[in-house]
Amino acid sequence: MVHSFSERISQAFSKFFATSPALIIGVVISGLWLLSLFGEKKWHESLVESVGMLSFLTIFAFQRSQNKEMKAIQIKLDELIASSDNASNRLIKAEEAPEHVLDQVHEIYKDVAKAAMESDSRQRMVDIEHAEKLMETFHHETALANQTEDFSMAQAPDPMENMVDQCIPD
């Protein structure tokens, strides 16, 4: 219930702030804010507080909306990659790779694009294979790290179990 309520609030908030009436309200509030500089200090302080609170809430609403949209785009791109015979499945979940790996892959694909413009298909295949190896290495290292983490979690004693044993008399 809370999730759907927060979802509706976030969507309504994002949709409203992308409209012309929201722009007009923003201009009016800015004008009042400017005029409050020449009026009573109380009005100016209350407008400053209101604008600050609204800005604070807006940041979270927009960030949530942007994260949701980016996740949907990533899912769609992953689906396109997975469904294409010519695309490398190793690029699925590339957004989870560290930035230095993404930078290397990005440089390779810039070279691939340049080679495609020059119709050098051999260079394209060599570069794509290099990018695939980078991503394969990343996925392999991530899988090993997850297995190690899962193993260490399974081996770690449960501190609550010891506390329960100590509290319950024999």
**Tell me: the pLDDT tens digits for 138-153?**
777 777 777 766 655 5
When pLDDT is averaged across residues 148-168 and rounded to a whole number, the result is 49
pTM of this prediction exceeds 0.85: no
- Give the pLDDT confidence of 22-73 residue by residue, as tens digits: 889 888 888 887 887 787 888 778 888 888 888 888 888 888 888 888 888 8
Instruction: Using the structure block, give the residue that is written with the tokens 């927009």.
Output: 62
Give yes or no for a contact between 138 and 98, defined as CB atoms under 8 angstroms apart.
yes
When pLDDT is averaged across residues 143-167 and rounded to a whole number, the result is 54
The distance from CA 40 to its chain's CA centroid, rounded to whole angstroms, is 43
Q: Which residues contact 124 (CB under 8 A, 6 or more apart)?
A: 112, 115, 116
Give yes or no for a contact between 17 and 58, defined as CB atoms under 8 angstroms apart.
yes
The distance from CA 107 to its chain's CA centroid, rounded to whole angstroms, is 22
Give the per-residue pLDDT at 24: 92
When pLDDT is averaged across residues 145-162 and rounded to a whole number, the result is 56
For the cut 50, the answer to whether the pLDDT of residue 96 exceeds it is yes
Give yes or no for a contact between 81 and 88, defined as CB atoms under 8 angstroms apart.
yes
Phi, psi for 19 (deg, rounded to 5): -115, 165
